[in-house]
Each structure stands twice: as structure tokens, then as C-alpha cells.
Structure 1
């Protein structure tokens, strides 16, 4: 008895070949998680960005030759509504002029974002201190130290890299992409590939 193959179900070999071909086509893109070359976008997740920025801390800078201001333990926040990123960090201010030195606190800085084509890096741009709280200091001393802490935190975060790209990441076949528009989302940052 001879059984004819069903016309409604393609032979298994043809289905298997099609599946393997599709997997092979996607293989070059699998290593580039976050890149979607079909929609010309790259999305960096909040966790990926948090891991990148944590590697660049702690940071510190001297101010007016009498204060040493440091930032550590950064936490990244994303504000899709304002298209801004935010860094909240532990702040330390040390000075021989302070009775209780160092002074500890928390600072939150929000920032626009820009792409630095020469360094292939997504950077903070024009950060602004939104909140600064110090522990154990009151009155005029607190006001002065808050001003110092805000100014230095903004300087330390200006140009801070959130994500850098390699030339290989931005090249597919013979096409090398540039980064275009930057969009902050609630759970990541999306950039246009052009």
C-alpha cells in the first residue's frame, strides 16, 4: 500500500531545513543583544546601564582647595516623561574645617543625554543636582556644604559614560551605524541607529 504525502503538511525535512536556515540567519545578531537592526534601534536595559556606571565609581574631586567631595554607590534612575536619566549616590564631604569630618549624605542628580561620536559613548550632559541631604549638619554650615556638594556632584557627573559602543557592535556587514535620537524609557534607553 502506497501512502501519498499530505498536501496540507509539508515534509519534515523541508520544515527542518527552513528552521535551521532561520536560526543561522539570526545567529550573527544573537551576540548583539539589545540591537535590532531591522528597526534600526538599540535598547540598553536599566540593569545593563547600572552595571556599566557602577564600574566608574567611586569618584572624587577637590573643591576650593579645602573640601574633598566624593560620590559612591550610584543608583541609576530613568525618567521617560522628561527624557532624562538620574544618578542617586552616597556623598562624602571632607575638610579640615569641619568639626565632624567627613560629612555623609545623599545626592540626586538628573541629566540630559548626548552621544559622543568620537568616543562612541552615551554620556550624561548638563547634570543638575535636584536633591541633597546631609547627615549631622544644620544651619548655615548645612547650606554651604549643600552648595559645595551640589556643584561638585554636577562636575563629577558631567560627561560620565552610561554606555560605550565598540566599532564591531555598530558594524553589520559593510554598514557602520551611527547613533541618532536618544529616548529614555522607564526600563532602559533606546537609541536610533542611522
Structure 2
């Protein structure tokens, strides 16, 4: 019995040492293209939610743009706002440009967009007094949408990916690909 415990301990230490050596040398790298990210975002759109009691937001048609040297994902989306009590109660349509960071949840091996920042909002006919509330509602809508929609999930059956479920070391854009490096 002692012999089998010793063998198991040696095997475990070898695996642990091998994983450390593999990941400390650069880590496990995941590369995602614009179309791959776009496909994941398209799967759950359009999204319609009501925020701040008076603003109904609909997001649709994302267009992903990975900017070389950045650590953020940029997207342009079509937006429709319905403001309760606004005269005419006709939907206000436009576009929003947003950038987002990357969040890694190691327990499930999933990558998410996070921390959306609205960089540009163009909605025809929106009154100035509603612009700040509209941006806040859009930021909340994007954050809510992103938090439950992974853009990539590591394969738990792939031994290298299973071991890689450690720490997100680096996020960058290279050659129009989102490069995610995991390691110790």
C-alpha cells in the first residue's frame, strides 16, 4: 500500500512540475478571431431590457473590431431606445461604439467581455436631457449582456487546457486576433 501511495505522489509531482514548467515558460495561448467573437455575440441578440424604469434598450447587429496593440475588444452595435412618456413614443434608433475588457473565470475556464465603456453614441432625435440616462442604461445593458455570455470556453477534456485554468496573464490584439495568455 505504501508503494502505491509513493508512486501516486511521484506521478502527481511530475505532473505538477511539468505543468509549472510548461506554463511558466509563456503559458497556454488562446487566439480568437473577429468572426469567432462575433458569432458568440450574435447568438444571444437582439437583447431588449428596460432600465431606469423609463428607458427600454434593444441591442442588435454587433460588429467586432480588434485594434492592433490594444487589450480591449471594440464593437459597434445598433441600438433602439424607447423612452416612456417621451412625446410621440416612437423608438429612437442609432448606433453605439463600445470597448470592453476581458474577464477570465478560472473555475469554469470561460472568457467574458467586461467593463464596457461607451466611446460614441449616436441616436437620432434623443433629447439632450435624456442622453446621460441613455448612456447609463446602455452601459448597464451591455454589462448585463456580457456577464453571462462567454466568448470562449476552455475544453475540460483537453489536458493542456484543463491545467491552463489558472491565471489570465495577458490580453492583447495581434494580427486582428484576440490573444489570451494563461499561466502561473
Q: Unaligned regions of 5+ residues in structure 1, if any?
A: 1-37
Alignment partners' CA distance in 1, 2:133 and 2:94: 10
Structure 2 equivalent of residue 120 of structure 1: 109
Please tell me whether Structure 1 or Structure 2 has the larger radius of gyration of its CA atoms.
1
Q: Unaligned regions of 5+ residues in structure 2, if any?
A: 1-25
Structure 1 equivalent of residue 68 of structure 2: 80
Q: How far off is 1:50 after superposition?
A: 1.3
**1:101 aligns with one of 90, 94, 108:** 90
Q: Kindly tell me: are residues 89 and 40 of structure 1, through their superposed partners in 2, closer, same or farther at Cα, counting changes over 3 Å?
A: same
CA contact (8 A) 1:77 1:87 kept: yes
Alignment partners' CA distance in 2, 1:149 and 1:129: 11
RMSD of aligned Cα (Å): 2.7
Equivalent pairs counted in the alignment come to 154
Alignment partners' CA distance in 1, 2:126 and 2:64: 26
CA contact (8 A) 1:132 1:146 kept: no
TM normalised by structure 2 equals 0.70
Corresponding position: 1:178 with 2:168: no
Structure 1 equivalent of residue 55 of structure 2: 67
Q: Kindly tell me: are residues 83 and 148 of structure 1, through their superposed partners in 2, closer, same or farther at Cα, counting changes over 3 Å?
A: closer
Higher share in helix: 2
Structure 2 equivalent of residue 161 of structure 1: 150
**2:121 aligns with one of 132, 140, 163:** 132
Query: Taking CA–CA contacts closer than 8 Å with sequence separation of 6 or more, which of the two structures ends up with the larger relative contact order?
Result: 2
Alignment partners' CA distance in 1, 2:52 and 2:42: 27
Alignment partners' CA distance in 1, 2:176 and 2:115: 22
CA contact (8 A) 2:57 2:138 kept: no
Structure 2 equivalent of residue 8 of structure 1: none
Deviation readout 1:51-104 (Å, 9 max, x if unpaired): 122112112221122221110111111123331101211111113312242111
TM normalised by structure 1 equals 0.67
Alignment partners' CA distance in 2, 1:58 and 1:192: 31
